[in-house]
Amino acid sequence: MIVLAGNIGSGKTSLTQLLSLASGWTPSYESVDNNPYLADFYADMKTWAFHLQMYFLGNRAQEIETLANSGNSAVLDRSIYEDAHIFVRALYEMNNLSDRDYQAYFKLYELVLKTLPKPTLLIRLVTPVETLVDRIQQRARSIEDTIDPGYLRLLDSYYQQWDQEYAESPVLTINSQRFDFVNNPDHFKQVVNAMEKCIESKTNLVLVEPSHIIDAGVGRE
C-alpha cells in the first residue's frame, strides 16, 4: 500500500491518479464532495473541527482496512497520519479544538492505528506555500474559497516537524514544484523509478529536482 502526504494543493490527487493508471493499483481518493462536514468546517472551524476530524479518522481507517483485505495493491492520496499529526495539531494550536476534544481524538487515533497495516511507502510532496495558494485558486473549488494562506503556512510548519518524526515506512520526498509529473512524462518516470528503489532497498530518497536524487538514509519498516 502506497500513501501520499502533502499540504492542500500539493498534487496528491494528480499523482495518485497517474500511479493508478500506470500500475493498475486501486486508487483511493480523499472524500471531498461526499464529506458532510467539510464546507461547514471551512466556514466555522471552531464549531466543526472535532466533527470533521472524527469523520476523517473513521472514514480513513475503514478505507485502509477494506483495501488491505482486498489483496490488491493500492495507492491513497492522503495518509491517516496527517489527520492527527498535521491537521489536529494545527487546529488545537488555533484554539479550534478544546483540550478535552484533542485528548479524546488522540486516544482513539492511537487505538485505531494499532489495528491497521503500515504502508509499504510514503510519498511526501513538498511545495512552497505560495505555489499552493496559486494552485488552490486555479482549481477553484468552492469549499476552498475561505482557506487562508496563514492556515497553509501553519500546516506547512507541522509537516516539517512531522517529516522528522515519521518512521512507519520508507519515504520518498518529492519537490512537487520542480517535478511536473502531470505534464512531463520523464519527470513521472523518475518518480516511478525512485519509488521502486525506495521499496526495494527500504531507503529514504529525496527528489530535489529532475535528475537530482539524494539518498536520505535507511527507512524503517
Catalytic residue among 40, 77, 134, 145: 77
Beta bridge partners, 203, equal: 218
The 8-class DSSP code of residue 117 comes to: P
Is 33 marked active-site? no
The 8-class DSSP code of residue 168 comes to: S
CA angle, residues 163, 194, 192, in degrees to nearest 5: 115
How much is the CA Rg of the chain, to the nearest whole Å? 17
Question: Helix crossing, 185-201 with 12-23: angle to 10°?
Answer: 80
Measured CA distances, 217 to 127, 172, 177, 201, 209 (Å): 22, 11, 23, 10, 18
Give the residue numbers marked as catalytic.
Answer: 77
